[in-house]
Amino acid sequence: MAKTKIEPVIVLKELKKSFGLGDAEHYAIDGITLTVRKGEFIAIMGPSGCGKTTLLNILGLLDSKIEGEYELEQRSVASLSARRQARIRSQQIGLIFQNFNLVTRLNVIENVALPLVYKGTTQTNRLKQASAILHTFHLGEREYYMPYQLSGGQTQRVAIARALVNNPSIILADEPTGNLDSAASHIIMEELSDLHKRGNTIIMVTHNPRLTTYASRVITMLDGKINTDTGSAIRAKTSSTKRPLGRLRKKSKRKKAVIL
């Protein structure tokens, strides 16, 4: 597979975003140039306040007041009407953000089925698809619970299921496992990993360096800029990064023997 041929999904050119006016003006994003190709799993790290959430909001078409260029699937976002942007957001982009608001009047399965209404899926199929994804998140028995009957971790998993139910090709996740225990985090990371294997593009902000092992590319940000970038070559998950120490030693001994 020629990596250079993989089409770009997201292209940013000198992207900037400022908040405040006059003396108080501050660039939360301060000149980011980046190409994200289809099927990449990018982990973004960086200190609090460096612009990670602002960047995801822009990528997720939640904030269009920007300077510079943002091309999504070869179309300049600036040229898309608000309506078109809303349609792309609901059909192609899965947003997993930290404030997971479920609709309090709807039960779990209805909440998860909600994004499919905009797609025009029939009610039976909506509930079938919602049920299927709730099962993958081990929430099958919670389908008819109301949001107030869920724990924090369960609420978060339901909201993630809702973000993924219409099979978005681009998934943007802002510390998706931030408040979860390790078992719940594992379920979510496995699901993201599975989506990645199926060819979806994932951009995930995390403060947990261990989670970067799921990613194919790691970007660190500092003061609204990209600080380091491992690049788009699929590099992670090579057997050497996961090889247990014992085997490494054996190999180095063998090497020595050859040298001697």
Binding site for ligand ADP (CB under 6 A): 19, 28, 46, 48-54
36 strand-pairing partners: 10
Reduced to 3 states (helix: H, G, I; strand: E, B; else coil), residue 255 is helix
Cβ(143)–Cβ(90) below 8 Å: no
- Pick the closer one to ligand ADP by CB: 56 or 171: 56
- Pick the closer one to Mg ion by CB: 53 or 167: 53
Q: How far is the CB of 127 from ligand ADP (least distance, A)?
A: 35
- Pick the closer one to ligand ADP by CB: 50 or 108: 50
- Pick the closer one to ligand ADP by CB: 207 or 243: 207
Binder of residue 172, out of ligand ADP, Mg ion, none (CB less than 5 to 8 A by kind):
none
Cβ(163)–Cβ(96) below 8 Å: yes
Nearest one of 215, 212, 213, 216 to 241, comparing CA atoms? 213
* Cα–Cα distance measured from residue 182 to residue 131, given in angstroms and rounded to the nearest whole number: 24
147 strand-pairing partners: none
Binder of residue 54, out of ligand ADP, Mg ion, none (CB less than 5 to 8 A by kind):
ligand ADP
Binder of residue 60, out of ligand ADP, Mg ion, none (CB less than 5 to 8 A by kind):
none
Q: How far is the CB of 174 from ligand ADP (least distance, A)?
A: 7
Reduced to 3 states (helix: H, G, I; strand: E, B; else coil), residue 240 is helix
Binder of residue 28, out of Mg ion, ligand ADP, none (CB less than 5 to 8 A by kind):
ligand ADP
Instruction: Establish if 179 lies at the interface with Mg ion (CB under 5 A).
Output: no
- Pick the closer one to Mg ion by CB: 53 or 193: 53
Binder of residue 49, out of ligand ADP, Mg ion, none (CB less than 5 to 8 A by kind):
ligand ADP
Cβ(133)–Cβ(187) below 8 Å: no
Among 16, 38, 53, 225, binds Mg ion (CB under 5 A): 53
The bridge status of strand 217-222 relative to strand 41-45 is parallel
Q: How far is the CB of 51 from Mg ion (least distance, A)?
A: 8
Report the run of H or E that residue 239 belongs to, with start and end.
helix 239-242
> How far, CA to CA in Å, does 36 sit from each of 112, 145, 181?
28, 39, 30
- Pick the closer one to ligand ADP by CB: 52 or 142: 52
Q: How far is the CB of 207 from ligand ADP (least distance, A)?
A: 9
Q: What one-letter code names the amino acid at 35?
A: T
Cα within 13 Å of Cα(199), Cβ side? 3
The separation between CA 73 and the C-alpha centre of its own chain, rounded to angstroms, equals 17
Q: How far is the CB of 33 from ligand ADP (least distance, A)?
A: 18
Q: Which stretch binds Mg ion (CB under 5 A): 13-21, 34-42, 49-57, 130-138?
A: 49-57
- Pick the closer one to Mg ion by CB: 30 or 110: 30
- Nearest position to Mg ion, beta carbon: 53
Reduced to 3 states (helix: H, G, I; strand: E, B; else coil), residue 178 is coil
Note the residues at the interface with Mg ion (CB under 5 A).
52-53
